[in-house]
C-alpha cells in the first residue's frame, strides 16, 4: 500500500511538473450567456461601430507565466491566448452591445467605441498545499459621436478575479480565472449608467 501511494505521488508530481514547464495557449472569451441587459438596454437602439482596440500592455506576447515559486527566476513557461487580446475584447464589446438591443457595424453608425487594453494578465501565487490564481483586466474605453466627431464619454474599466486550487497543472484553472476577470470587466461596462446616459444624449440631439 505504501509503495502504491509513493508511486501515485511520483506520477502526480511528474505530471504537474511537466505541465508547469510547458507553454499554454488558453481559450479566453466572453459569451452571450454571460452578458445581461443593463442600463444600455434602456436607451433607444443605436448602431455602434467598434473602432480600434489597441494593445497597450507592457508584455503583448503573453498573458502570464507559469512558475514554480514567487521569484521571477522561477518562471517556467508562458501563457498565451488562441485569439489576440484586442480581438477578445472587441468580440466581448459586440456581445454586450447586441445583448442590450444595439446593432454593431454597418452603414450609418451613430456611435463609435474605441479603446486601449492596458492590462490582461494572469498570475499564480504558489503555496504549500494550494495555488492562488489571480487575473486582472483593464480597458480604457472611449465613446464618440460619429457625426459630430466629438468624444462623449471616457472611462477605465477593470476586472479582477482570484481563486485557490489544489493542483496548478490544469490549464482550465488559468482559463477559468482569466475568463472571470474578463466577465467582471464587461459587467462593469454593462452596468455603467453614465455610459448609457452619454449614448442617450447623443441620440436625442
Task: Please give, one letter per residue, the 3-state secondary structure of 35-70.
Answer: CCCCHHHHCCCCEEEEEEEEECCCCCCCCEEEECCC
If phi > 0 it is left, if psi is from -120 to 50 it is alpha, else beta; for residue 64 that is: left
Q: Where are the domains of the chain?
A: 2-204
- Asked whether residue 18 carries a pLDDT value surpassing 50, the answer given is no
Residues shown for the chain: 205
- The C-alpha cell at 74 is 522561477
Q: Quick check: helix, strand or coil at residue 73? A: helix
Q: What is the CB neighbour count within 10 angstroms for residue 39?
A: 17
Please state, in angstroms and rounded to a whole number, the distance separating the CA atoms of residues 30 and 91.
Answer: 7
- Asked whether residue 16 carries a pLDDT value surpassing 80, the answer given is no
Q: Quick check: helix, strand or coil at residue 72? A: helix
Are 147 and 176 in contact by the 8 Å Cβ rule? The answer is no
Rounded mean pLDDT of 6-24? 48
Please state, in angstroms and rounded to a whole number, the distance separating the CA atoms of residues 40 and 32.
Answer: 15
Give buried/exposed letters for 49-69 (b at 16+ CB in 10 A, else e): bbbebeeebeeeebbbbbbbe
Are 110 and 146 in contact by the 8 Å Cβ rule? The answer is yes
Quickly name the fold that domain 2-204 has.
Rossmann fold (3.40.50)
pLDDT tens for residues 136-155?
999 999 999 988 889 999 99
Are 116 and 140 in contact by the 8 Å Cβ rule? The answer is yes
- Asked whether residue 3 carries a pLDDT value surpassing 90, the answer given is no
Are 180 and 165 in contact by the 8 Å Cβ rule? The answer is no
pTM of the model: 0.84
Tell me, what's the pLDDT at 149? Answer: 85
Q: Quick check: helix, strand or coil at residue 128? A: coil
pLDDT tens for residues 185-194?
999 999 999 9
Are 47 and 204 in contact by the 8 Å Cβ rule? The answer is no
Amino acid at each position: 500500500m505504501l509503495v502504491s501511494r509513493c508511486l501515485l505521488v511520483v506520477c502526480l508530481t511528474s505530471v504537474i511538473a511537466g505541465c508547469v514547464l510547458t507553454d499554454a495557449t488558453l481559450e479566453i472569451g466572453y459569451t452571450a450567456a454571460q452578458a445581461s441587459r443593463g442600463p444600455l438596454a434602456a436607451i433607444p437602439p443605436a448602431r455602434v461601430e467598434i473602432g480600434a482596440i489597441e494593445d497597450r500592455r507592457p508584455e503583448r506576447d503573453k498573458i502570464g507565466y507559469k512558475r514554480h515559486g514567487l521569484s521571477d527566476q522561477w518562471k517556467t513557461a508562458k501563457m498565451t491566448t488562441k485569439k489576440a487580446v484586442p480581438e477578445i475584447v472587441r468580440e466581448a464589446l459586440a456581445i454586450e452591445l447586441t445583448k442590450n438591443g444595439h446593432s454593431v457595424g454597418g452603414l450609418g453608425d451613430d456611435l463609435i467605441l474605441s479603446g486601449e487594453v492596458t492590462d490582461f494578465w494572469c498570475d499564480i501565487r504558489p503555496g504549500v498545499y494550494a495555488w492562488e490564481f489571480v487575473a486582472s483586466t483593464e480597458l480604457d474605453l472611449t465613446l464618440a459621436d460619429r457625426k459630430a466627431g466629438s468624444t462623449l464619454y471616457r472611462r477605465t474599466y477593470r476586472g479582477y478575479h482570484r481563486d485557490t486550487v489544489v493542483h496548478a497543472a490544469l490549464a482550465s484553472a488559468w482559463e477559468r480565472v482569466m475568463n472571470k476577470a474578463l466577465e467582471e470587466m464587461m459587467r462593469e461596462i454593462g452596468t455603467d449608467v453614465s455610459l448609457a446616459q452619454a449614448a442617450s444624449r447623443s441620440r436625442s440631439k
